Amino acid sequence: MIETANELGHVAMQEGEVLIEADTAAALAVGLAALAAGYAERGIGAAAVGAMAEDDDLFVNGLILTVLPETIVILALVVVFIV
């Protein structure tokens, strides 16, 4: 599978084209990172709401912990600026 992809890449290169545009790749990187952050926040958010239901004082802590995975998206955004 990888070999075929490689060959495909070579063919594409030989014709002077690229398999995927740099901008598209950067967009993909950010998009996947955002998806991962969303998945991580799902679990944390559920736990945070559960903890808040028991004790209202945990609202601030819960909120901070819930948005922590958002940092992955910010780091991924760096890619957009360096390509």
Partner 1 sequence: MSLVGSSNPEYVVARVRARRGMLYSTEEYRKLTRMSPPEIARFMEESTYEAEINALGSRHGGVDLIEYALNANLAKQFEEILDWSEGELYDLIVRYLRKFDAGNVKTVIRGIYTDASREAIETDLIRAGEFDDRLIRRLLEAESIEAVVEILEGTIYGEPLAAAYEEYEETDVLVPLENAIDRAFYERLLGNLPRGEPVRQYEAFLKAEIDFRNADNALRLARSGAEIDPAEYFIDGGDLFDRDTLARLARDLDELVEYIADSDYADELGPALRELEVADSLIAFEHATDTALLNYGDKLGTRHPVSVTPVISYILAKEREVENIRAIARGKEAGLSAAEIEEDLVIT
Binding site for partner 1 (CB under 8 A): 42-44, 46-51, 53-55
Least distance in Å: CB of 62 to partner 1? 9
Least distance in Å: CB of 32 to partner 1? 17
Separation of alpha carbons 74 and 30, rounded Å: 9
Contact (CB, 8 A) for 63 and 48: yes
CA-CA-CA-CA torsion sign (33, 35, 37, 43): negative
Indicate the residue among 6 and 61 with the shorter CB distance to partner 1: 61
Indicate the residue among 1 and 53 with the shorter CB distance to partner 1: 53
